[in-house]
């Protein structure tokens, strides 16, 4: 009997923590300097945005926020392999992925600020709304991919989730259906090793997440999630397999959530400071990539500071413009339940609208 377990535990890496890369693989993947700069652009921009939104939450200017700090390489490397006609199905930590696919920063800010339209992607953008329910997006992603196959489209669906989602029934049902129907979907698991306060070893007895693919008869790949080049490689190969009609792939990107689960969480209650400092100080994906780019003469310290200033100005301008807008009236919530107006909901909307207007008249009387 073949031992498939060992096959699934090897982790693919192209760029080590010293900033040294496998040059042969870069040539094979046709990763040129323009693409390298593009990768860094999105990674650093994501870091700046994440830091700013954390500050906004602490100032009470947005609601609960889930930081993605430390996961920039996994998101950028995977998202840059997708075409505009491909579908992205995110969870609640894929801000960088969504913005690479075309989501405007203002739209993301609307979501964080609680505007009803903030979780509705713009028309003609193949992007599903943010999914907060753990693993709830996985069956939906499979359905989208199946529809693409039935319609003979050339699109691939990329479904993002965390390690905690692999303990949910939706994960197993989705992967099983995808494999049986051989649909063009890439399951991208960002294994940041903590499902809120629950470590990975308390969630499962299997050695890796990627080896779970064996049970479903699909390709499973384990990759260094802090290596943007390796994430690009494995996702590109998975997307190409899906586009050729060879079925789904499960990718486990091993990374680390540097901060708390959300701003409603406190990581110091369940993680050792030494563990966090190791990943922040020695394994940070952006710092690793910066070493590589500097060695190739593509980046300088001055260039980094100029980009940071540019991104900070961009974010500040969007925030300033957005905060001038008045919040939408509460009765508009009914407009986001069904695609077409529902008579009963329309009735409830009018009742709430009249009630609010009545309160305002009494207040001004």
Question: Domain of 160?
Answer: 6-328
pLDDT in tens, 311-331: 999 999 999 999 988 888 889
Distance, in Å, from the CA atom of 42 to the CA atom of 140, rounded to the nearest integer, reads: 27
Same domain, 247 and 337: no
Q: Are residues 338 and 257 in the same domain?
A: no
Split into its structural domains, the chain has a count of 2
* Same domain? 100 vs 245: yes
208 and 340 share one domain: no
Catalytic residue of the set 61, 270, 271, 283: 270
Say if residue 71 is in the same domain as residue 115.
yes
Does 22 map to a domain? yes
**Residue 346 near residue 84 (C-beta atoms within 8 A):** no
103 and 191 housed in the same domain? yes
Helix/strand/coil for 244: coil
- Note if 261 is an active site residue: yes
Q: Does residue 4 have a pLDDT over 50? A: no
Same domain, 248 and 365: no
Instruction: Report the distance separating Cα 231 and Cα 323, nearest Å.
Output: 36
Within 134-192, where are the H helices? Answer: 137-150, 169-181
The predicted pLDDT at position 137 comes to 98
Q: Are 320 and 342 in contact (CB under 8 A)?
A: no
> Phi-psi category of 247—alpha, beta or left, where left has phi over 0 and alpha has psi -120 to 50?
left
Residue at 180 is within a domain: yes
CA pair distance 166, 313, nearest whole angstrom: 39
Tens-digit pLDDT profile for residues 20-74? 998 888 899 999 999 999 999 999 999 999 999 999 999 999 999 999 999 999 9
Same domain for 342 and 237: no
Catalytic, 45? Answer: no
Give 110-134 pLDDT, tens digit per residue. Answer: 999 888 888 888 888 999 999 999 9
Q: pLDDT tens digits for 203-230?
A: 999 999 999 999 999 999 999 999 999 9
Burial 113-145 (b: 16+ CB within 10 A, else e): bebbebbebeeebbbbebbeebbebbbbbbbbb
Average pLDDT over residues 174-196: 97
User: What is the average pLDDT score of the chain?
Assistant: 93
Q: Specify whether 172 is catalytic.
A: no
Q: Are residues 176 and 143 in the same domain?
A: yes
Mean pLDDT across 239-246: 98
C-alpha 118 chain-centroid distance: 16
Q: What is the CA radius of gyration of the chain?
A: 22
CA 156 to each of CA 129, 142, 239, 248: distance values in angstroms, whole numbers, following the listed order: 17, 10, 7, 10
pLDDT of 6 strictly over 60: no
| Mean pLDDT for the stretch of residues 250-266 | 97
Q: What is the pLDDT of residue 3?
A: 38
Q: Is the torsion defined by CA of 270, 252, 135, 332 positive or negative?
A: positive
What pLDDT is recorded for position 260? 96
**φ, ψ at 166 (rounded to 5°):** -70, -10
Rounded Cα gap, residues 266 and 273, in angstroms? 12
Confidence at 358, pLDDT banded by 50, 70, 90:
confident
pLDDT value, residue 117: 82
Name the residue with tokens 């890369």. 21
As beta bridge partners, residue 185 has 157
């Amino acid at each position: 009997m073949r031992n498939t377990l060992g096959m699934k535990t090897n982790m693919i890496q192209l760029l080590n923590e010293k900033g040294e890369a496998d040059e042969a693989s870069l040539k094979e993947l046709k990763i040129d300097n323009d693409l390298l700069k593009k990768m860094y652009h999105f990674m650093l921009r994501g870091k700046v945005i994440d830091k700013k939104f954390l500050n906004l939450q602490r100032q009470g200017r947005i609601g609960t926020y889930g930081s993605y700090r430390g996961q920039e390489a996994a998101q950028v490397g995977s998202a840059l392999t997708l075409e505009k006609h491909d579908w992205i199905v995110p969870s609640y930590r894929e801000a960088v992925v969504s913005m690479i696919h075309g989501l405007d920063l203002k739209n993301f800010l609307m979501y964080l600020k609680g505007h009803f339209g903030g979780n509705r992607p713009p028309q003609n953008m193949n992007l599903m709304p943010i999914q907060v329910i753990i693993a709830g997006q996985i069956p939906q992603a499979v359905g989208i991919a199946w529809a693409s196959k039935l319609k003979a489209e050339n699109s691939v669906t990329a479904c993002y989730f965390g390690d905690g989602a692999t303990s949910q029934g939706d994960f197993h049902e989705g992967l099983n259906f995808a494999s049986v129907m051989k649909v063009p979907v890439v399951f991208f698991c960002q294994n940041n090793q903590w499902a809120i306060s629950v470590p990975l070893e308390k969630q499962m007895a299997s050695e890796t997440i990627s080896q779970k693919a064996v049970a479903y008869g699909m390709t499973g790949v384990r990759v260094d999630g802090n290596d943007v080049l390796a994430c690009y490689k494995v996702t590109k190969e998975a997307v190409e397999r899906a586009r050729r009609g060879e079925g789904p792939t499960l990718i486990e990107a091993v990374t680390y959530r540097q901060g708390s689960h959300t701003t409603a969480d406190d990581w110091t209650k369940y993680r050792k400071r030494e563990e966090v400092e190791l990943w922040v100080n020695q394994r940070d994906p952006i710092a690793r990539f910066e070493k590589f780019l500097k060695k190739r003469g593509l980046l300088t310290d001055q260039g980094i500071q100029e980009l940071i200033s540019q991104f900070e100005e961009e974010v500040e301008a969007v925030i300033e413009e957005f905060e001038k807008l008045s919040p939408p009236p509460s009765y508009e919530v009914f407009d986001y339940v069904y695609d077409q107006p529902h008579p009963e909901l329309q009735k409830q909307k009018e009742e709430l609208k009249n009630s609010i207007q009545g309160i305002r008249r009494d207040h001004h009387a």
